[in-house]
Amino acid sequence: MIRSLGFVAALILLNSAWAFPGPNFLPLSEDQHELLVTILNWLLALCLVCEVNTELSRWAEDKWIWKDDKSVWNWGNEVAVITGGSKGIGAMVVKTLVSYGIRVAVLDVEPLSDVFLSEESNSINFYKCDITSRVQVHEAGEAIRSDFGSPSILVNNAGIGNANTILESSPEGLRTIFEVNLLSHWNTVQEFLPDMIAKKKGHIMSVASLAAFFGLAGMTDYSCTKAGLIAFHEGLTQELKHRYSCPQIKTTIVYPNWTRTRLIRAIEKGIRGPVMDPKDVAEAMAKQIISAKGGQVILGPNIAASIRALPTWLQEFIRDRMAHIVTVKATTAVA
């Protein structure tokens, strides 16, 4: 935003200079001068429209709350629940939140990895939990409230992926990926949201993917689960505003680009372009939480979110360019 405003200011100054040029300011004819001024005015108007549009979008994403009350957040007293927090992106999110003094409860089927330092252990509790089981999530929730108190932050990070075509996908594999990547969000939100509503404070973050914006050959099931998270995020946001009168509870959806985790190990050679480091994804997620703002976090080309607004031929061209990435058959991998 600062750069945009600076650009606007520069345009205004240049416009003034061209509108009232001093001697020998520019060796232009009168017609050329008028054309330059016209172009500059249109650029200035376009820049202002874009800036207004950006601010309106941010306002809408934050549930039309103009000014957030950050004073309600005391990071040393906050408790965060992170699914899939033992390894990969989730582990980096845990470490980053702990650095702010937040206590973290990790829900995972795998034990904590060795990336955690001994001094971090006092702020982290591990709960072995299959998040696809409503019973196990409830049992973990009871244990967390007993150990830490009611969580105010929920990061639904856990995710798995397959590298299979539609014809190669098994019923068991489909059921598992939908339960982990999408249906588990109902389990965790049903468990932890009521306390947030009672306190009118909380932040629920869903980790999707840029794959949510377009289906890719060889990973249709994964794209479907991440596209479903868009609807989940939007529906949750609407219900908080219009069913529970709690716009104060923040909702965020994160769209990482390809990230170097176990999820892409089998297909990484086919990826063209940069691959993100889990630490960079985690820092962006933590920054959103610490800023106490809701909305979208797109970690990649912003055009990805608008791909369906493009002409059909251009959409298909983009998908065709990515059809080579997933050409192997791989078993389920964890993010």
**Looking at residue 181, what DSSP letter applies?**
I
Please return the burial class of 9, using the count of CB atoms within 10 Å of its CB with bins 0-12, 13-18 and 19+. Answer: exposed
CA angle, residues 253, 255, 259, in degrees to nearest 5: 135
Structure tokens, 23: 């001697």
What burial letters (b/e) apply to 16-48, b meaning 16+ CB within 10 Å? eebeeeeeeeeeeeeeeeeebeeebeeebeebe
Q: What is the number of other CB atoms lying within 10 angstroms of the CB of residue 239?
A: 14
* Strand-strand pairing, 153-156 and 160-163: unpaired
Q: Are the C-beta atoms of residues 232 and 178 closer than 8 Å to each other?
A: no
Q: What are phi and psi of 171, to 5 degrees?
A: -60, -40
- Residues identified as active-site: 222, 226
